[in-house]
């Protein structure tokens, strides 16, 4: 009898561990005995929801855009991470993927699009050009050397020239991690 009980407990422990791994906010959620209710801090639920449903903006500036498009298509499928709804309007987005070279003439547009996005908003700088100017760092007059020089705060940098779709997915997972660990979720 005792053996069976301990085996049962072990299974339950295993199940619990698997659940915590799969659902990142699971350790904040407590089941009330006998009921269908869950109890959690509203902040952790909010953060979990925010991280699991990011709406990126279609923002192709240069060759990195094709890697972003590939990440959105069926082979790499960014939709698996809840960020597959690319919007053409900044007012419906909460993450801006700056993918490509930023020209001086485009800089003003990027600043305006960022200002039009509703809070909370996040920025991923994808590729060397968006990180620091990349191969256009030296001997050029028309390229902005990095997204931060436009006065836009960047949450995740993805280096590469261009980064592969897997790198973009990893950057997205890093952003989700950052959102889940935010101190003040209702910023």
Residues found near other proteins in the complex (CB under 8 A): 104-105, 137-142, 145
CB of 141 to other proteins, least distance (A): 4
CB of 138 to other proteins, least distance (A): 4
CB of 145 to other proteins, least distance (A): 8
Residue closer to other proteins (CB basis): 15 or 137: 137
Q: What CA–CA distances, in Å, run from 149 to 25, 58, 91, 146, 159? A: 35, 21, 23, 6, 17
Contact call for residues 51 and 180 (beta carbons, < 8 A): yes
Residue closer to other proteins (CB basis): 33 or 141: 141
CB of 139 to other proteins, least distance (A): 5
Measure the CA–CA gap between 28 and 11, rounded to whole angstroms.
21
Tokens for 94, please give them: 């909460």
Residue closer to other proteins (CB basis): 133 or 163: 133
Question: Shortest CA distance to 83 belongs to which of 124, 22, 141, 38?
Answer: 124
Measure the CA–CA gap between 20 and 40, rounded to whole angstroms.
14
Residue closer to other proteins (CB basis): 138 or 183: 138
């Amino acid at each position: 009898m005792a053996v069976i009980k301990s085996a049962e407990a072990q299974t339950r422990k295993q199940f619990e561990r698997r659940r915590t791994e799969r659902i990142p906010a699971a350790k904040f959620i407590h089941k009330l005995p006998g009921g269908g209710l869950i109890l959690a801090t509203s902040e952790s639920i909010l953060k979990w929801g925010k991280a699991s449903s990011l709406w990126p903006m279609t923002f192709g500036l240069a060759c990195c855009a094709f890697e972003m498009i590939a990440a959105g298509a069926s082979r790499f499928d960014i939709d698996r991470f809840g960020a597959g709804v690319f919007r053409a309007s900044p007012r419906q987005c909460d993450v801006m993927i700056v993918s490509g070279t930023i020209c001086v003439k485009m800089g003003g547009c990027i600043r305006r699009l960022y200002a039009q996005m509703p809070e909370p908003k996040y920025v991923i700088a994808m590729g060397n050009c968006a990180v620091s100017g990349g191969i256009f760092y030296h001997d050029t007059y028309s390229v902005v050397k990095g997204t931060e020089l436009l006065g836009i705060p960047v949450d995740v940098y993805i280096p590469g020239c261009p980064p592969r779709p897997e790198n973009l997915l990893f950057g997205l997972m890093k952003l989700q991690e950052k959102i889940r660990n935010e101190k003040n979720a209702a910023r």
